Chains A and B, each alone.
Chain A
């Protein structure tokens, strides 16, 4: 496998969805290619950073409007099947 081949399989490799045979080929390439190791590590880190980021609290006015709208609906309607 070359660098271009690794990029083509990168998403499935990072998601753990790669078949055993091709994973071995990819890891053999990784062992000898520093550039590709950096790409794999920093792309993995990119995903982790976004995945672990906590969502910011709602701005107070946005939260108030949401909850006012819900209160109106919840007081007057019950969930129903359509």
Chain B
């Protein structure tokens, strides 16, 4: 995209200068907002895909998240990171679509089943760098395939807490669940993912 022709961004804008970019975008500098989009589009698309598990919904949720973020930039007061604010919008957009698509099958308030399931099986170590057994692309596809198998209530919590590094409190607020529900679902999600990754990483030989 180029809002202002093919003119490159000013070299004075450095990568870690998010606050300055946001301030410029708020003042109406389209190129600054364009840079924020370029910076975060991959992560936001991964997030909306993880939550919706549907390509069309993920694309719509991402697009609407960026459009809403631009429209409401005036409301962003800088108390949190811009990225966290953007994640909040993207989570809302994703959950809205997930609920619309699966009105009878999706609830973030679903109770967590008994704890006996938490006792891990498959107790063999993976070695120091199991991920190095796979090419980067293959690894990406394994990780997507495995996380897709998690139920939405666990997947959303894991993605926000461990992939996006959102705090427990903010995760609870974004998903509309209690802090203790975030903690118990995070534990369950981590253990389930560990178990599902195990067949790919166990032993010392490449698959």
Contacts and interface: CB of A to CB of B under 8 A. Distances in A.
Interface of A: 3-4, 7, 10-12, 14, 34-35, 38-39, 41-43, 45-47, 49-51, 53-58, 62-63, 65-71, 73-75, 77-82
Contacts of A3: 119
Interface in B94-144: 118-120, 123-126, 130-131, 139-140, 143
A41 B126 contact: yes
Contacts, number: 132
10 contacts: A4-B119, A35-B120, A45-B126, A49-B143, A50-B147, A50-B158, A50-B193, A62-B45, A67-B1, A69-B63
A70 B139 contact: no
A79 B162 contact: no
B93 to A, nearest CB: 13
A11 B194 contact: no
A55 B43 contact: yes
B46 A55 contact: yes
The prevalent SS among residues of A at the interface is helix
Contact of B28 (A7, A50, A79): A79
Contacts of A43: 190-191, 194
A79 B26 contact: yes
B74 A70 contact: no
Given A11-B187, A50-B147, A69-B67, A39 B34 contact: no
B5 to A, nearest CB: 11
A54 B201 CA distance: 19
Nearest to A57: B42
A4 B117 CA distance: 11
Contacts of B25: 79
